Amino acid sequence: MEERQVEFRNVSFRYQEDMPWVLKNVNFTIGPDEWVAIIGHNGSGKSTIAKLMNGLLFPQEGEVYVGGTKVNADTVWDVRKQVGMVFQNPDNQFVGTTVRDDVAFGMENHGMPRDLMVNRIQQSLKAVRMEKFERHEPHRLSGGQKQRIAIAGVLAVSPEFIILDEATAMLDPKGRKEIMQTVSDVQQERDLSLITITHDLQEVTMASRVIVMNGGEIWMEGSPRDVFSKKDHLTEIGLDTPFVSKMADHLKKEGVRLSREPLNHQELLEDLCISRSTM
């Protein structure tokens, strides 16, 4: 099997035996250096997927493979070296008394030499623009700052997969953009796959592939452009579409011809200019 990929094979999961299935026969593969966004309404099974990827949960049916290794109780510690995870609420993921201790925590668990740790702490704090806060106490930071520290902690371990489980939900708009830019830079510089679980449509357009979850099943898989061109169906399952996508729809109703589903302002405006010259 291909190394450095995450694979779900016929995975089903439920929290208790008398509870409904949260995931039903889910199959997908995330390859090396891919950026995959997983979207879906609350309760569609997105976060459960994330927890199955690093062995916080194990499936009742089917198998999850990370880097060719089947995730189970025996392999979970190896798996977690490869899968870094950042959760939604920054207050629930702090252990260190200073920012540097906190960033070091993951590395300490993996027994890294001190010199390397010192180096990595500085590098990863710089990547999230928190280098000035090395000696600060985490609980005194704002929500957005805390989240950047959490991301730094994951970067420091240098995993092959990073899962951001609604990690930007609590950040302000500029903070969100910064984090996404940071994550995107890191993804390009280092060999790693990125899995973002998100409601933020801007984040979705940055991914190379989108998996849409609904009622515990994969409802659709495709490029952001493919997915957003099905906007009527997305609305049906409680999802939103980006502003440009809605604007494009209204324009089409007004008889304006567009050549493709726009993903950003630029694409829509370029299309409008072509249509202006031909109208």
Partner 1 sequence: MHISFDHVSYIYQPNSPFEHRALEDLTFSIESGSFVAVIGHTGSGKSTLIQHLNGLLQPTEGVIHIGDYTLKAGEKNKHLRELREKVGVVFQYPEHQLFEETVAKDIAFGPQNFGVDQKEIDRRINEAVKATKLPEALLDRSPFDLSGGQMRRVAISGVLAMEPKVLVLDEPTAGLDPSGQKQIMDMFYDLHKEKELTTVLVTHSMEDALSYADYILIMNHGKLYREGTPLELFQQEDVLEAVQLDVPEVIAFLTKAKKEYGINLEYKGQSLAELAKELAHQLRGGSDHE
Contact set with partner 1 (CB under 8 A):
40-43, 88-89, 140, 142-145, 166, 169-175, 199, 201, 238-240, 243-244, 246-247, 250-251, 253-256, 265-266, 268-269, 272-273, 275-276, 279
Q: Which residue has the tokens 């030499």?
A: 113
* Gap between the Cα atoms of 192 and 10, Å rounded: 25
Q: Which helix (H) or strand (E) holds 12?
A: strand 6-13
Q: Which residue has the tokens 């280098």?
A: 131
CB 124 within 8 A of CB 152: yes
Residue (120 or 146) nearer to partner 1, CB: 146
Taking the complex as a whole, the smallest distance from the CB of residue 206 to partner 1 amounts, in Å, to: 16
Taking the complex as a whole, the smallest distance from the CB of residue 76 to partner 1 amounts, in Å, to: 25
List the strands of the sheet with 217-222, edge to edge. 83-86, 161-165, 193-197, 35-39, 209-214, 217-222
Taking the complex as a whole, the smallest distance from the CB of residue 275 to partner 1 amounts, in Å, to: 6
CB 69 within 8 A of CB 45: no
DSSP sequence for 248-275: HHHHHHTT---SS--SSHHHHHHHHHHH
Output DSSP code: residue 14. -
Residue (74 or 174) nearer to partner 1, CB: 174
Residue (70 or 265) nearer to partner 1, CB: 265
Taking the complex as a whole, the smallest distance from the CB of residue 68 to partner 1 amounts, in Å, to: 34
Residue (7 or 200) nearer to partner 1, CB: 200
Taking the complex as a whole, the smallest distance from the CB of residue 153 to partner 1 amounts, in Å, to: 18
Residue (120 or 148) nearer to partner 1, CB: 148
* Gap between the Cα atoms of 44 and 25, Å rounded: 14
Question: And the tokens for 94?
Answer: 């702090």
Taking the complex as a whole, the smallest distance from the CB of residue 216 to partner 1 amounts, in Å, to: 13
